[in-house]
Amino acid sequence: MDNEINSDESGRPIVLITGASGNIGTQICRRLSEKYTTIGLDREKSESADESYSCDLTSDDSIELAMYKIRENHGKRIAAVVHLAAYFDFTGEPNPLYDEVNVQGTKRLLKGLSKFSVERFIYSSTMLVHEAGVPGQKVDENSPIAPAWEYPKSKAKTEQVIKENSGDMPYSILRLAGLYDDETAVPTLSHQMARVYERDFKSHVYAGDLMAGQAFIHQEDMIDVFDKVIALRSALPKAHTLLAGEEEVMSYQALQNRLGKLLFKESEWNTINVPDAFAKAGAWMQVKAEPAVPDAIDHGEKPFIKPFMIDLASQHYHLDISRAKAQLDWQPKHRIYDKLKTLTSNLKSDPSTWYKKNGITRPDWVEISSEKNKNSHKIRKQYEKHYRSQHQGSLWAHFLNMGIAFWLLSAPTILGYVSQAMSVSNYISAIALFVFSSLALSWRMGWARWGAALVGIWLLCAPLFFWTSSAAGYLNDTLVGMLIIGFAVCTRPTPGVSNVAAETGPAIPDGWDFNPSEWVQRIPIIVLAFVGFFISRYLCAYQLGHIDAVWDPFFSGLASDPQNGTEEIITSSFSKAWPVPDAGLGAMTYALEILTGLIGSTRRWRTMPWLVMLFGIMIVPLGAISIFFIIIQPILMGTWCTLCLIAAAAMLIQIPYSLDELVATSAFLYRRKKQGRPLLRIFFTGDTDEGAAEKLNTTEFERPVGTIIKDVVGGGVTFPVNLILCLPIGIWLMFTRITLGAEGGMANADHIIGSLVITVVVIALAETGRAARFALMPLGAALLVTPFVYGAGGISIAASIICSALLIGLSLRKGNIHNSYGLWDKAIV
């Protein structure tokens, strides 16, 4: 083959391009293919080059083989070599690949090209090799070389390698500005766009000079530079360096404002300048904490902002491109200011694709919207419209909490607090409440509402924690604490719900025929919680010494003690073992039950799973604990507490009314987990679900009163006769001490079994818990054994046998089931 030819068979000059399979390489191949024969060198085949050869810059043999094939097929003359291939990461940490690929790889490439006649070697470098300027100062080709981090340092070293190893080969070093096109941008800009678009807190803080900025270059303008350098390869100086980028530089603040305007029509994006040390410490903590953060929260992605970036935040690169104008007759046709409109338009029209193309992990709501074939930007826009409208209508609540803060400041003096600790608690709580409530006036500060709610929770705890002797102080903190929580988080809009969960998905769970989160479903629980709250608070007042006695019409205390049964129980060693008044702890739990029952929309079974589960924990497990206390009263303390029995009954009756919502939420979480959704994330922020979005039912209480009462009493609960007949059996067993004169172990056994019978029956009244009735069988079987174990008399034996037969027989029939529960129907047996 003739080794002196300068072109292929088509007569076009040959251009060799490293990194040809990458995005930039692909676009350059496409541009040059009309005038040149393009040969791609890369580890993967380039589909856009005329020919492509596999080449690994870290291997001498690989480069030698590729060069041999090119010589054999095309000869020794090459019009230009465009060297794009390079290693890059944004960790800021040293990496051996910087030297192996960028520096030594270029050296190997130059060695391989030494056997060719190359008219010009063109190296893609970066403007970052220069020492950064300051606002008002331009950087030109003669500015000092002082790269600030690993990537530009490797580029500067590579430039030196080219100068030392190019021999007679002419070369051009193109120091390019930050690259962007109509859909993608350099990581710093694309992540800045994503932070603003997501309204991330970090989009409002910046550690560097807000007036500093960096030059950009559009991909088309950059390709023009390469095209012109190749066309003028013989006319340019042998050793040639060129800066290329847009002449106008937008400062960081100007970029922020422009993005805010284009994305949200906000003329100014509030950006706070924070101290470098503070920002660097925050970035360091984020990086170090990432391994401990569940992947469901951060998708396993390391934080983009690293500590080293804080040192670069004030770098300013305003380029002097007069040399490019003079030598190439080139100047940019695009401006980043104008093209941001295109970039943001593409982001809004298809967020999912934009995130993918820019290599940024999609926010959860973008990912889910994509799965639903919905535009996440439109969903978010609709969500913000609704959220802001509801927020505006609920501002009064936050103003009231601000007013309550002043009441807290004055309460110790007005109410005559004796405890200094209680007074200090009120003062600190008042300041915190005022701050959180003030922040909550902004619709973007939804987290501040939870901060105010925490203040309310503390106020519920404080009188118990300090064992306050002031009845007024206890009353004040209890009522004020509940009001604060109610105003903070029970008002609309519900904070913490993802936009996809709020705007998409059904109101009724898949396969169900009613909504377990409707108000008629919650009313029985809230009403019963009020019963428990008033009783517990009354008992706590006695424990704190605010009243001298408590009422108990039925049970007396020990013979050696003048107290009645209730007083005996709540002052027992068991009660005193708690670090706080146990009745007060119960009152606080009931108060939180009331409030959590009020929080959230009627879709909360899927929009606030954590709240439903918390609601259930306060009812079911704590209900079981309450029942346990009732069981041990006559066994360990020798008496009963009338008010405790009433409170326990209220707690027990709550259980069947709460089960349907717990089942719906649990099934929802299970279903979404099977579909690959991150369980922890949807647990706290909610999610969409199968089924079409439905309007919330706003006519629940516009129906006849009788219909409402029927739904309140019978929502998810039915009353089969066979189960209702088991209740008097359980009550009979609980009181065989009185009815049969049972004593000792036999009386205790009857009491325990009777209590468990009542518990099982009440739970089984819930249609979702109907299978619990089968627990009556082992309880009935136990009644056949206990009389003989404890040597009971004939009457007790006969009574136990009759009760046993009745319980086992009555547990067989399931009873009517009026509703459908999707997949849970299989568990209703």
Residue ranges per structural domain of the chain: 395-491, 505-716, 721-827
Summarize the confidence of residues 611-626 as an average pLDDT.
82
Instruction: Give CA–CA dist 288/292, Å, rounded.
Output: 8
- Of 737 and 485, which is predicted with more confidence? 485
Report how far residue 11's alpha carbon sits from residue 15's, in angstroms, rounded to the nearest whole number: 13
Whether the bond into 493 is cis, omega within 30 of 0: yes
CA 139, CA 131: separation in Å to the nearest integer?
Answer: 8
The length of the chain in residues reads 829
pLDDT at 8 exceeding the cut of 70: no
Domain 505-716 has CATH 2.40.10.220: no
Model confidence, pTM: 0.82
- The type of residue at 198 is E
Residue 720 is predicted with a pLDDT of: 94
pLDDT of residue 568: 84
Q: In terms of Cα–Cα distance, which of 595, 616, 613, 621 is closest to 679?
A: 613
Residue 7: the pLDDT is 55
Dump pLDDT digits (tens) for 640-672. Answer: 788 888 888 888 899 999 999 999 999 999 999
Question: What is the predicted pLDDT for the residue at 565?
Answer: 80
Round to whole Å and give the CA distance between 600 and 517.
9
Residue 616: its pLDDT value, please?
A: 86
Mean pLDDT of 793-807: 92
Q: Residue 255: helix, strand or coil by DSSP?
A: helix
Rounded distance between C-alpha atoms, residue 216 and residue 245, angstroms: 6
pLDDT at 686 over 70: yes
- The 10s digit of each residue's pLDDT in 297-341 is 767 778 888 899 999 999 999 999 999 999 999 999 999 999 999
Mean pLDDT of 251-276: 94
Lowest mean pLDDT among 17-26, 82-91, 277-286: 277-286
Question: What is the spatial distance between Cα 281 and Cα 306, in angstroms, rounded to a whole number?
Answer: 10
In the predicted structure, residue 621 carries a pLDDT above the cut 80: no
Distance (Å, rounded) from C-alpha 18 to C-alpha 20? 5
Short-list 376, 402, 392, 396, CA closest to 493: 392
Q: Using one digit for the tens of pLDDT, what is the confidence trace for 170-198?
A: 999 999 999 999 999 999 999 999 999 99
H-type helices in 290-335, by residue range? 295-298, 307-312, 322-328
CA proximity to 306, closest of 404, 230, 202, 226: 202
Tell me the C-alpha distance between 822 and 44, whole Å: 51
What pLDDT does 1 receive?
36
Cα distances (angstroms) measured from residue 290 to each of 204, 293, 308, 382, 689: 21, 5, 17, 32, 29
pLDDT of residue 737: 83
Mean pLDDT across the chain:
91
Strand order, beta sheet including 14-18: 51-54, 37-42, 14-18, 80-83, 121-126, 171-176, 239-244
H or E stretch covering 241: strand 239-244
Report how far residue 103's alpha carbon sits from residue 88's, in angstroms, rounded to the nearest whole number: 12
> CA-CA distance, 659 to 649, in Å (whole number)?
16
DSSP state letters, 781-803: HHHHHHHHHTT--HHHHHHHHHH
Please report the DSSP string for 410-453 in residue order: HHHHHTT---HHHHHHHHHHHHHHHHHHHHTTSTT-HHHHHHHH
Q: Which of 41, 229, 8, 27 is nearest to 120 (CA)?
A: 229
How far the first Cα of the chain sits from its last, in Å, is 86
- pLDDT tens column, 334-380: 999 999 999 999 999 999 999 999 999 988 888 888 777 788 889 98
**Hey, is 265 helix, strand or coil?**
coil
Contacts of residue 261, defined as CB under 8 A and 6 or more positions apart, other chains included, come to 267
Residues in a beta bridge with 218:
180
Least confident of 690-694, 787-791, 804-808: 690-694
808 CB-contact burial (10 Å; exposed 0-12 / middle 13-18 / buried 19+): middle
**Residue 629: band (very low, low, confident or very high) from pLDDT cuts 50, 70, 90:** confident
Q: Which tens digits make up the pLDDT trace of 535-563?
A: 999 999 999 999 999 998 887 766 666 78
Evaluate whether 410 touches 403 at the Cβ level (below 8 Å): no
**pLDDT at res. 728:** 95
